[in-house]
Amino acid sequence: MRRTSGTAAFDAGVRAALTMIPVTILTAVLPGAAMAEDCRDRIAALFEDGGALDPFSRPPHSYVATTYDAGGAVKWIYQARYETALRMIGGTEGGNRILMIGPDTWTGPSPEGPWTAAPNQNPPDMEAFFRAHMAASVKNLDRTDCAGVVEIDGLRLVKFTYVTRTDPAPEAGGAWFGALYTAYIDPDTGRLMRQDTAESVAHYASEPSTDLQVTLYTYDPTITIPTPE
């Protein structure tokens, strides 16, 4: 994830998107502007309750986010596991881990701890904070593209591409971030399986990054994040 241990983070919305008329047919019957608006609406629906980009609807899962430089070399690998959007453990490979439950934070040398309480600098209502980010991401959607079903790494996935950014968050010192995102969604389960992040920008870096982050998701109902004693 970019600079923080939280995010970067995310089925009814995606199921609606996946029952769309095939893209090849839409191309023949819809004007370009209508197709663009239709695609934007489908991507916006992915952020709604139950959608593939709604982290509060995502079942227990883990992910590995690998960041590559412009030449394709690995810069770092971030690993995380989530019981819910508000219960997670994450950290850079080879480094310390952070455990977050709501706004509370602990640090430790491994995913199993031991855990030490850390100063809490998070907004008190983390769910409201994340939902405000989601609403801003929908409002600021741009350069949307709905490519339909593609094959990637031997899997048939539905590809959505979009640019967006969050609004400055007063409760987080005015922080904001954005990027060009490509989401790959399983057409059978409606789950996000991969997300590529490029052209990243943020309140601390207004020029688009040349890095590429590839995040791969694995779903596991046995994942739990216990509260440290």
What pLDDT, in 10s, does the model give residues 35-94?
567 999 999 999 999 999 999 999 999 999 999 999 999 999 999 999 999 999 999 999
- pLDDT score of 131 more than 80: yes
Q: How confident is the model at residue 36, as a pLDDT?
A: 65
Lowest mean pLDDT among 19-23, 42-46, 89-93, 206-210: 19-23
CATH classification number, 12-219, choose in 3.40.50, 2.50.20, 3.30.70, 1.10.1200:
2.50.20
- In eight-state DSSP terms, residue 91 is E
Distances (CA, A) of 145 to 23, 174, 205: 11, 29, 25
- DSSP, collapsed to helix, strand or coil, labels residue 27 as helix
What contacts 50, CB < 8 A, 6 or more positions away? 11, 12, 13, 57
Lowest mean pLDDT among 12-26, 53-67, 135-149, 179-193: 12-26
Q: What is the pTM of this model?
A: 0.83
Mean confidence (pLDDT) of the chain: 87
CA 155 to mean position of chain CA atoms? 20
Q: Where are the domains of the chain?
A: 12-219
HSE, side-chain direction, 13 A CA sphere, residue 184: 18
97-101 and 87-92 beta bridge pairing: antiparallel
- pLDDT score of 19 more than 80: no
List for the chain the helix, strand, coil content (%; round to 5): 20, 40, 40
Determine contact, residues 141/150, Cβ cutoff 8 Å.
no
Determine contact, residues 38/17, Cβ cutoff 8 Å.
no
Position 171 confidence tier, pLDDT thresholds 50, 70, 90 = confident
